[in-house]
Structure 1
Amino acid sequence: MPATIAIIGRPNVGKSTLFNRLVGKRLALVDDTPGVTRDRRAGDARLGDLKFTIIDTAGLEEADQRSLEGRMRAQTEEAIADADAVLFVIDARAGVTPSDAHFANLLRRTDTPIILLANKAEGRAGESGLYEAFGLGFGDPIAMSAEHGEGLADLYDALLPIIDGVEAAEDTGAEAKTDVDVEDAEDEAPAGSRERPLRVTIVGRPNAGKSTLINRILGEDRLLTGPEAGITRDSISVDWVWNDRHVKLFDTAGIRRKARVQEKLEKLSVADALRAIKFAEVVIVTLDATIPFEKQDLQIIDLVAREGRALVIAINKWDLVEDRAAAMQVISDASERYLNQIRGVRIVTMSGLHGRGIDKLMEAAFSAYEVWNRRVSTGRLNRWLDGVLIHHPPPAVAGRRVKLRYLTQPKTRPPHFVVFCSRPETLPESYTRYLVNGLRETFDMPGTPIRLSYRKGDNPYAAKAQKRKIQ
């Protein structure tokens, strides 16, 4: 495994900016507001020819352990314990603050190698803080600017012996496997394999229990949880193995109604959650069992369907429901009434806090993925279309009936069907829904979005007619 490097420091010293610089992508949310990062986030970093895992952490703050800041600090301490080295970041423009000195004393008690970084050191404004950093006792500080990419060469020199030492301790056979072309392996490997884990994104309204569910799945407090709504901000990915099948889980920020999203940070968090949906293969929409199918829940489900992702609905906090038979009837009626566009979607009742229903949830996720990838042969499709045209032909428009000539499936993920016909613009939307529902029922595609488009065939006599007009 590659070396693990953790970035720590007090809030607003540029940790997430440095994280984004090293991974080469804007993965972590960055803002001038202190305390943006809350959960620890891992990414694949590269610096020259060095490859390692970088971990972005919440800012170190002195707070009660039961408070949100105290729980954030506990997450950071776990990252320090698991890391092969720590990048201790201070703000060179602010100098060494009492908080920096306090946390430097804590770091001295660990055996983990410490590399001191004086960030924001560009220009003369950071010179005094750079000189103050010598007094922390971690050797020569590295003057750098994560925003502008300055000082990375010095950081390379500091990381080189640490990463070389970790790689030397690894088995050489495992090291040789890192030369495999990952993209080629993903194309050939089935979803759920080590080379290509199934990408599952968990979304929902704030405080629906998404992070608690992932913590229960992993069997550890990997993600920050609590009674406060909106704790999660970044979309955090974690790897997991379920029944010998590899899964990459994405936890996301709660998505509120657009009119209520006012603050810039929440807008960034929601945008990050929407991006996680777009790159997912299966999306689990988490609903609160005490108030299921709120308007915002339906909007999130509709968003996932429009994005064309495989969908599973998890009714979380089922342990809080007293009359479960009546609640199940309400859920069934609501799904029949509101989820026509994804009829037959799997609904799983569960409790993320107590770990009940997790196996059923993952079975539903892999089943939804299989349906999402289902392909139907052209012969079967056209035999079905012939029967449809006999029993329920398209309506006549202006005295002329639309002719459906041919049906094929050019794409999967989600299933996409194309009908070749005459005058497709005159077909009513109700007939399209009739065809989609027929495809779903006949070819066993419950709960997955189905795309159906029309294509007008070329008229072989159009050229002759145009020629006669010219003459």
Structure 2
Amino acid sequence: MSFTLAIVGRPNVGKSTLFNRLVGKRLALVDDTPGVTRDLREGAARLGDLRFTVIDTAGLEDATDDSLEGRMRRLTERAVEMADVCLFVIDARAGVTPVDEIFADILRKRSGHVILAANKAEGAAAEPGVYEAWGLGLGDPVQISAEHGEGMNELYARLMPLSDGFAARTEAEAPEIDVAIDEDADPDGETVPAYAAPTPERPLQVAVVGRPNAGKSTLINTILGEERLLTGPEAGITRDAISLALDWDGLPVRLFDTAGMRKKARVQHKLEKLSVSDGLRAVKFAEVVVVLLDAAIPFEQQDLRIADLAEREGRAVVVAVNKWDIEEDRQGKLRALKEAFDRLLPQLRGAPLVTVSARTGKGLDRLRLAVQKAHEVWNRRIPTAQLNRWLAGMIEQHPPPAPGGRRIKLRYMTQAKTRPPGFVVMCSHPDKMPESYRRYLVGGLRTDFDMPGTPIRLHLRSQSGANPYKARKTPGPSRLRKHL
């Protein structure tokens, strides 16, 4: 990425629509309601042959206090200082407003490169607003339509010379790297590791989910070491599922901050439905899901639903109990939490339960280790020979049932997949196998192969085809003489 472009402007001028247009995906929530976007969302943009990072920001509000609007404005101003280029978007149909004039003056002082874009410029109704945009003193406005994709060529022409300048600057500032070659190294002696650790190119995908006001954004800000996400006492601040790449004490991860998920019956507003669906999509794309609970009211019905959703999607699950710093009887509370966890979530038995404080940062080192361990277990593969020796021992200890007087025979077992671990058992009469025996095998896999908490998929299949040796007869002495 050669440069960073921040899209700024007052609420409801089409910033998120333009962001989605540039990244080529519907990542940001779009709605007619002003102020949908609250956090900074980054994406890899593509415009012709240009590749750059684009930042979608909250609408600039005329507020400077500690209210929600004031905190949103400070976050947007921080994005302006971070970006190489600011794309100032106005609504061409509404014309230039006094708020636009205020923020145009701010951008002139804070940003070195500002491009003025008049959005919603399709049709004759936008012409007066385009003419008014000249009065902002930011040069010739680029007439675009983010919804219909018009004006992208003109935007490309404005960005191209800036991109060349930033590319030359990056090349000049790049340090020289000497690559040492070990001539004694044996390239053929490498072995493929059983577990592929996350890399900066393929980071570990971690989604943080939970009820509103559980402290998800505060937790991610503490991990990042900066106020990157909007936080506050109000419940339901986060709306989009925001993804952030970082190095977490040597572990490359991409963290997804999701909107708080309330009970379905309470979700009535269209915007909240969009936020929850965006969070569910983040769970599906994640590898490890951190279910964040409030220590004061843990394991409510909605918490159990969220954890069960992650398990059904086949994600590795880590349960984190937040606000532990204000808990008084910690030992008694921890015992009660573990007992409730085993009783209410038996499908995640053995999953890590970590106590943290998002405000102070206590327990984040344990959370990182738990996330890495859960990812390793989620990718674990067991050799077939070892599985079948284990299966023989399980059958000897507890033989399968015999429905109708005919015992079910378990013949062969293999691991078909990982992420999550999936196993196939070839047997007779798989449709008659009771669920209790299936749970017996899954529990044995968890215990004997150290796979706590991760979802395990066990499939029973009948052995297809006839026995290839059944029709073959052993040749007698007379038949053997014929062949000699």
TM-score of the pair, normalised by structure 1: 0.93
For residue 22 of structure 1, report the CA deviation from its aligned partner: 0.2
Alignment of 1:130-149 (within 5 A): 130-149=130-149
- What letter is aligned with 1:386? A
Structure 1 residue aligned with 2:47 = 47
Contact residue 83 and residue 112 of structure 1 kept, 8 A: no
Q: 1:449 to 1:65 in 2, by over 3 A?
A: same
Contact residue 85 and residue 111 of structure 2 kept, 8 A: no
Structure 1 stretches lacking a partner, 5+ long: 178-186, 465-471
- What letter is aligned with 1:420? M
- What letter is aligned with 1:33? T
- What letter is aligned with 1:223? L
Matched length: 455
Contact residue 189 and residue 195 of structure 1 kept, 8 A: no
Contact residue 189 and residue 196 of structure 1 kept, 8 A: no
Does structure 1 residue 66 correspond to structure 2 residue 72?
no
Moved over 6 A (4+): 172-177
- What letter is aligned with 1:303? L
For residue 244 of structure 1, report the CA deviation from its aligned partner: 2.2
Q: 1:176 to 1:395 in 2, by over 3 A?
A: farther
Distance 2:240 2:194 in 1: 31
**Secondary structure, counterpart of 1:16 in structure 2:** helix
Distance 2:73 2:194 in 1: 42
Q: 1:52 to 1:433 in 2, by over 3 A?
A: same
Q: Which moved more, 1:191-200 or 1:157-166?
A: 191-200
Q: Deviations over 1:172-222 (max 9, x none)?
A: 796999xxxxxxxxx999433222211111111100000001111111100
Alignment of 1:187-226 (within 5 A): 190-226=196-232
Structure 1 residue aligned with 2:185 = none
Structure 2 residue aligned with 1:23 = 23
Q: Deviations over 1:208-260 (max 9, x none)?
A: 00000111111110000000000001111112212322111111111111111
Contact residue 195 and residue 376 of structure 2 kept, 8 A: no
Does structure 1 residue 331 correspond to structure 2 residue 337?
yes
Structure 2 residue aligned with 1:418 = 424
Alignment of 1:11-410 (within 5 A): 11-171=11-171, 190-410=196-416
Kindly name which structure, 1 or 2, has the bigger radius of gyration based on alpha carbons. Answer: 2
Q: 1:234 to 1:176 in 2, by over 3 A?
A: farther
Contact residue 202 and residue 284 of structure 1 kept, 8 A: yes
Distance 1:245 1:387 in 2: 38
Q: 1:421 to 1:173 in 2, by over 3 A?
A: farther
**Secondary structure, counterpart of 1:44 in structure 2:** strand
For residue 112 of structure 1, report the CA deviation from its aligned partner: 2.0
**Secondary structure, counterpart of 2:260 in structure 1:** coil
- What letter is aligned with 1:326? G
Distance 2:132 2:175 in 1: 41
**Secondary structure, counterpart of 1:108 in structure 2:** helix
Contact residue 81 and residue 111 of structure 2 kept, 8 A: no
Aligned residues: CA RMSD: 2.0
**Secondary structure, counterpart of 1:227 in structure 2:** coil
**Secondary structure, counterpart of 1:401 in structure 2:** coil
Does structure 1 residue 453 correspond to structure 2 residue 459?
yes
- What letter is aligned with 1:10? R
Q: 1:348 to 1:46 in 2, by over 3 A?
A: same
- What letter is aligned with 2:8? I
Structure 2 residue aligned with 1:2 = 2
Structure 2 residue aligned with 1:184 = none
Distance 1:354 1:394 in 2: 52
Q: Deviations over 1:119-159 (max 9, x none)?
A: 00101111111111111111110111000000000000001
Distance 2:82 2:447 in 1: 50
**Secondary structure, counterpart of 1:171 in structure 2:** helix
Distance 2:40 2:196 in 1: 29
Q: Deviations over 1:399-425 (max 9, x none)?
A: 211111111001011110001111111
**Secondary structure, counterpart of 2:11 in structure 1:** coil
Distance 1:375 1:309 in 2: 16
Distance 1:392 1:188 in 2: 31
Contact residue 223 and residue 248 of structure 2 kept, 8 A: no
Distance 1:68 1:374 in 2: 45
- What letter is aligned with 1:242? W
| Percent of pairs with identical residues | 64
**Secondary structure, counterpart of 1:37 in structure 2:** coil
TM-score of the pair, normalised by structure 2: 0.91
Contact residue 194 and residue 381 of structure 2 kept, 8 A: no
Q: Deviations over 1:38-69 (max 9, x none)?
A: 00111000100000000000000112420000
Q: Which moved more, 1:96-105 or 1:227-236?
A: 96-105
Distance 2:352 2:31 in 1: 39
For residue 456 of structure 1, report the CA deviation from its aligned partner: 1.1
Distance 1:389 1:219 in 2: 52
- What letter is aligned with 2:434? P
Distance 1:338 1:346 in 2: 15
Distance 1:232 1:291 in 2: 20
- What letter is aligned with 2:337? I
Distance 2:73 2:250 in 1: 33
Distance 1:163 1:138 in 2: 19
